[in-house]
Each structure stands twice: as C-alpha cells, then as structure tokens.
Structure 1
Amino acid sequence: MSKKTEFQALDLISAYSEKKKNPSHLELNQIFPNPNQPRLIGKEDTSDLVPSMERLGLIEPILVRKEKGRYLIVAGERRYRAALKLGWKEIPAIITDANEDVCYEMSLAENEKRKNLNPWEVGKAIQYLRKEKKKTADEVSTLLGYSERYVKQLSSIARLDQKSVMELMISGKPLSVKNLEDLLKRKENRGGEIVSPRDAFGQSKVSINIGKLNGKLRENFLKELNSLKKKYGINE
C-alpha cells in the first residue's frame, strides 16, 4: 500500500458546495467547454435539461476557472450547452482559482458522485491520472472512494477504444463493468481469464438479513445496495 497523498479536489468540492448560494453571473460568450474533461460520451445531449431549465431556470450553477481572459468549464458543460440552446445571455457560475490539475480531479470526483460517467469514462480518467499525472492507485482510490482493486479493474477497461464502446452502447447493452470486460476479452482474443472479481463467483448469490435495521437504516442500506448493483451491472 503506497503512502496517500491528499487530493486538493476533495477540499474544492466542499468549497464549491458552500459557494452555491452566491454565484457570479457570467456572459455565455465568455465561457468555453474544457477539451480535457472526464466526460467523453453524451456531453452534447441536453434533451433532458432544456425543458426543465426552461421551466425552472438553473437550479445549480456551473463551475469554471479563469484562463487567459476566458472561463473554462470545470463542471456543468451540459447545463452550459442547454443554456445556449435556450438563448440565454448569461448563466450563474462559481469561479475557482484552483489550477488545471486540481480542477480535473474535482471534475472527475463531482461527475462520479453524480453517476454521470460510465465505467469506461472513469477508467480513461483514472488512466490519465496514473500515466500523465503519476498518481498511484491508492491516491485515485482516495479521490473516488473506491478500493485499489476496483481502480485497477477500471484501468483495464480503459484499454477499449471509444468506437468499440459506442458500438456496445448502440447494441442496447448497458455500459456495465461486466459487459465492458467481456468486450475487452473479445477484443484482446482472450478466453476464460477473469478480469472482474465478480466473475469468479459465477451465479453465486448472497443473502442478507436486514430485519434488525430500523426504517431509516434499511432505506439507506437499500439505496447503497441499488447503487452497487448498478455499478457492477447486476440486474437480478
């Protein structure tokens, strides 16, 4: 286990939450999407946002950082694109003075917290942090709240190219960890090797008695369980 290095992005998320009550208002022509961001698929699709923003306005401001006289989006690109489609002139925004690396970490953590990224996108982001920014698996697991084993698992999925991932999505299969790992095996002409620790259990089932939990604890447990089932592609 390597020594942990605290991510400044974790503090930035907290600061971001505190500043939501008093955002600035920036003109849209001053704001630009960041070419280096974790979300790779579906960022142009705003069909779900436009109607709600037209009816309710922007409930949560976007997050930007200033660079060379313009503002680059750290979090909220789809909200920005929806505002453009609605013909807005300005948008509520929180301006951070954090550097590019910290903003990338923050964008990854924020997107993953909202479940805006599929496992392949998370894997590509992890790959970028580990190869380009020399972060350890332990450090990345701190940022995302994952085990080191799961971080390495997602890093393996990142070997897939975007075209293959898009073809899987178009086929109607969910971009679950299991489906992406199966695709990776086929692409790399591998047989029965196990990439995911979940595969080792075959069709095994786990029974849990939650009868002793009170109403609130039971509700929280089931919520977290559903989140885990979604993450690992468990449908039953």
Structure 2
Amino acid sequence: MSKKTEFQALDLISAYSEKKKNPSHLELNQIFPNPTQPRLIGREDTADLVPSMERLGLIEPILVRKDKGKYLIVAGERRYRAAIKLGWKEIPAIVTDANEDVCYEMSLAENEKRKNLNPWEVGKAIQYLRKEKRKTAEEVSELLGYSGRYVKQLSSIARLDQKSVMELMISGKPLSVKNLEELLKRKENRGGETISPRPGSGSGRISINLSKLNGRVRDNFLKELGLLKKKYGINE
C-alpha cells in the first residue's frame, strides 16, 4: 500500500484523551479559527452538525491552544462554527500546552482520522511542512506514516490551485489522487508522465519519431528518457 492506514501523529491526540472527561468551558468569543488549518475545503459547511449538536449537544470537545490571550482551534473548527450558528455562548474545550508545530501535526492527524481531508489538502499540508516548517521529505513521511512515493505524489498535486480543485469537485469527479494528477497534467500541458499507474498501462506502447530532432536535442531527449525508464522500472 502507498500509505499507512493511520497517522503516527495520532499518538499526539490520544495523549489528551483523559482530559475529555473534564473539559474546560470557554466562551466562543475567546476562540478563533487557526489560519494554518489543514482543511481548506468545506470548513464552513456545518449542515450535518447543527441538527445533531442541537439535539445531543457536543459529544466530543474541541481542542485549542492559548495564543496571546486568545484560543486558536487545533481540532474542531466545524463544531465551533456549528455552535455559533446554534447561538451557544460557550463550548466544551480541551486546552493543550503543545507548541504551534505540534498542534499543526495534531490538527492534521485529527482531520485524517475523520477522513476529512482530500489528497490535495494533504498535499498542501505537506507543502506547508516542507516550506514553512523546514521539514525534510523523510521527516514528513515519518510524521504522516506515508511512503516516500506517496508524499511525492501529494506534493505534486499541491501545485494545483484551489479554484481548479473546486471545479473538479463541482463536475462530480471524486478528488482522488488519479483524478487530481490528470488535472495537473492538463493544467501544465504535459502529455506523458503521470505518477499513479493506470490500469493496463503496462501493455501500452508509445511511438516517437526522432528523425526531425537534431543530434544534440535527440541525445538529450534519449538521456532524459533513459532516466525516466530507470526511475519507473521500464526495461523495454
């Protein structure tokens, strides 16, 4: 499999499980969404939460961290937004003293546990960890419990802009790795390479006429082709 079924970072959340028995009750006007929240699509959609929270209350408290006199949400932004729509004044919350970097990892793990993130959102999270938090590809792979190949796939998908991803979703196509890679290929006007293997691709053949290329260009092309064949284990 390309990735493990669970994030290794889930241990970060389980460390606070005992606190769920006696959470704090914080006023909603003290709590704010985290601007670096990994979830980018549907974070304001609470249609499925409002009726159940109105009927049953909040079953699982949100998780927050204190930052300059206010509380930033680590996990549970949709629950927080549903509480606002219901007119609640306060909400059960666990206050963690973990630092900003650990809280980001916890938020990412919590969203993945609930299967709330699509591959593009996970790719953007990986991009954030690599560029903003200076983590290596190996560190990201270890943190998320993903193989290096899967991290590479998601990092590639992260080059897509949100508008294009939303248009794909509106079209009715699932936001799968394969569909997102194909969208990226079209956006970047690439005609050949994809990272995810396609069913039956092993039997496909491509014919390329090199007769119109000059010697230097042809040599460079064959060199790049050789590298790609080696990279993807093509022996023909």
Q: TM-score, normalised by structure 2?
A: 0.79
Hey, what's the Cα distance between the residues in 1 that align with 2:161 and 2:36?
A: 17
Quick check: 1:194–1:200 contact (8 Å CA) kept in 2?
no
Matched with 2:75 is: 75
- CA contact under 8 A between 2:169 and 2:175: conserved in structure 1? yes
2:188 maps to 188
Aligned to 2:123: 123
Aligned to 1:135: 135
Report which stretch shifted further, 81-90 or 138-147: 138-147
Match of 2:208 in 1: none
**How many angstroms apart in 2 are the aligned matches of 1:34 and 1:203?**
45
CA contact (8 A) 1:65 1:97 kept: yes
Does residue 1:91 correspond to 2:91, yes or no?
A: yes
Structure 1 residue 18 displacement after superposition = 2.6
Aligned in 2, Cα 1:25/1:201: closer, same or farther, shift over 3 Å? farther
Closer/same/farther in 2, CA of residues 41 and 83 from structure 1, 3 Å limit: same
Contact 1:24–1:95 (CA under 8 A) maintained in structure 2: yes
Write the distance in 1 (CA, Å) between the matches of 2:8 and 2:134. 15
Distance 2:202 2:178 in 1: 13
**Residue 50 of structure 2 aligns to which amino acid in structure 1?**
V
Matched with 2:4 is none
**CA contact 1:49–1:79 (8 Å) conserved in 2:** yes
Name structure 2 gaps, 5 residues minimum.
1-6, 204-236
1:16-35 paired onto structure 2 within 5 Å = 16-35=16-35
Map Cα deviations across residues 97-139 of structure 1 (whole Å, 9 max, x no partner): 1111111111011111211101000000001101111112222
The equivalent residue for 1:38 is 38
8 Å contact kept, 2:20–2:94 = yes
In structure 2, give the amino acid aligned to 1:186: R
Distance change (3 Å), C-alpha of 1:8 and 1:173: closer
Residue 199 (str. 1) matches residue 198 (str. 2): yes
Q: Which has the larger radius of gyration?
A: 2
| Counterpart Cα distance in 1 of 2:33 and 2:91 | 14
The whole-number CA distance in structure 2 between the counterparts of 1:88 and 1:203 is 57
User: Aligned with 1:117: secondary structure?
Assistant: coil
The 1-side partners of 2:200 and 2:57 are apart by 48
- The answer to whether the Cα contact below 8 Å between 1:118 and 1:175 also exists between their aligned partners in 2 is yes
Counterpart position of 1:102: 102
Cα distance in 2 for partners of 1:10, 1:166 equals 28
Paired with 1:90 and 1:165, the residues of 2 have a C-alpha distance of 35
The residue number in structure 2 matching 1:167 is 167
Deviations 1:21-63 (A, max 9, x none): 2211111111111111101010000000000101111010000
Runs of 4+ in 1 over 3 A off after TM superposition: 7-11, 200-204
Say yes or no: does 1:155 pair with 2:155: yes
SS of residue matched to 1:199: coil
Q: CA RMSD in A?
A: 1.9
Q: Deviations over 1:52-76 (max 9, x none)?
A: 1011110100000001111010000
Q: Which amino acid aligns with 1:74?
A: V
Q: Is the 8 A contact 2:24 2:92 kept in 1?
A: yes
